[in-house]
Amino acid sequence: MRAKKRKDLIIIVMFLLPAIVIFACFIAYPVGDTIFLSFRKWKGIYGASREWVGISNFTKVLADKDFWKSLLNSFYFMIGGFVILMPLSFGLALIITSKIKGAKLMKTAYFMPVMLGTTAVALMWVYILNPSYGAVNEILRFVGLDKVTKDWLSTPTLNIWCVILVNEWMFAGYNMLIFAAGLVSIPGDLYEAAQLDGCTGWKKIRYISIPLSKESFKIFSILCVTGCLKAFDIVWAMTKGGPNRSSEMPATLLYNEAFTYKNFGKSSAIGVILLVLGIVLSLGMNQIFRRKE
Partner 1 sequence: MTKRKAGKFFIYLFAIFWTIMTLFPLFITFLCSVKDNSGITLGMFKWPEVFRWSNYADAIEKAGILRAVVNSMFVSLISTVFIIVIGMFAGYVLARKKFRFRGIVYSIFLIGVMVPVHCTIIPISGMATAVNGKNSFWFLILVYIAFNLSQAIFLFSGYLQGIDKELDEAAIIDGCNDFQLLTKILFPVSAPIISTEAILAFVYGYSELIFAMILMTDASKYTVSRAMLTFQGGYNVNLGPIFACIIITIVPMVVLYIAFHEKVQDGMLTGAVKG
Partner 2 sequence: MKKMRKMAAILLAGMMVLSMTACQGSGGSTDDTDASGSSGDTGKSGKNVEISVSTRYASDNPDETYYRDMVGKFNEMDNGIHVTLDNIATESDYLDKLRTSFANGDTPNVFIEYGGSRCYDYLESDALLDLSTYLNEDKEWYDSFYDSMWGQSVYDGYDGIYGVPFKSYMVVLYYNKDLFEAQNLTPPTTYEEFLSCCETFSAAGITPLQVGEKDVYRFGHFNNCLVIKSMGVDGVDKLASREIAYDGQEMMNTYQIMADMVSKGYFGNDILDMDATAENSAFESGNVAMHYDGSWYVANNLMGKDFYDHVGVINFPYIDKAYENHNQGGSSDIWFISKLDKSEEEIAASVEFLKYITSNDYFAGNNEVASAIYPAEFTVTDATPENPLLEDINKIVAATTDMRTDVQNYDADSSMLDTVRNSLQGLAMGNSAAECAAQIMEEVNAFEE
**Which amino acid type is present at position 212?**
L
CA distances from 164 to 1, 101, 138, 154, 239 (A): 55, 31, 21, 14, 12
DSSP annotation of 127 reads H
> Site residues for partner 1, window 141-170 (CB under 8 A)?
169
Q: What is the total count of residues that contact partner 1 (CB under 8 A)?
A: 95
Measured on CA atoms in the order 205, 209, 214, 216, is the torsion positive or negative?
A: negative
Choosing from 84, 204, 212, 245, the residue that interacts with partner 1 (CB under 8 A) is: 212
* Residue 279 binds partner 1, judged by CB under 8 A: yes
Q: Which does 187 bind (CB under 5 to 8 A by kind): partner 2, partner 1, none?
A: partner 1
* Residue 198 binds partner 1, judged by CB under 8 A: no
Give the interface with partner 2 as residue ranges (CB under 8 A).
Answer: 20-21, 23-25, 28-29, 32, 43-48, 126, 129-132, 151, 153-156, 240, 242-246, 256, 258-264
Q: Which does 97 bind (CB under 5 to 8 A by kind): partner 1, partner 2, none?
A: partner 1
For residue 277, the minimal CB distance to partner 1 (Å) is: 9
Choosing from 48, 79, 83, 135, the residue that interacts with partner 1 (CB under 8 A) is: 135
Q: Which does 245 bind (CB under 5 to 8 A by kind): partner 2, partner 1, none?
A: partner 2
Angle of CA points 222, 115, 112, to nearest 5° = 95
Long-range contacts (CB closer than 8 Å, 24 or more residues apart) made by 254-263: 258/44, 262/43, 262/44, 263/43
Listed in sequence order, the DSSP H helices in the chain are 2-23, 29-38, 56-63, 65-80, 86-97, 103-116, 118-128, 135-142, 158-184, 188-196, 201-204, 210-212, 214-229, 233-238, 250-255, 264-292
109 neighbors 175 (Cβ within 8 angstroms) = no
Nearer to partner 2, 186 or 243 (CB): 243
> Site residues for partner 1, window 243-272 (CB under 8 A)?
250-251, 254-255, 258-259, 264, 267-268, 271
Q: Which residues, other chains included, contact 258 with Cβ-Cβ below 8 Å and sequence gap of 6+?
A: 44, 264, 267, 268
Choosing from 87, 91, 156, 284, the residue that interacts with partner 1 (CB under 8 A) is: 91
Angle of CA points 230, 281, 86, to nearest 5° = 70
Q: Which does 154 bind (CB under 5 to 8 A by kind): partner 2, partner 1, none?
A: partner 2
Q: Which does 55 bind (CB under 5 to 8 A by kind): partner 1, partner 2, none?
A: none
- Which range, of 53-61, 67-75, 141-149, 276-284, touches partner 1 by CB under 8 A? 276-284
> Site residues for partner 1, window 21-60 (CB under 8 A)?
22-23, 25-31, 33-34, 44
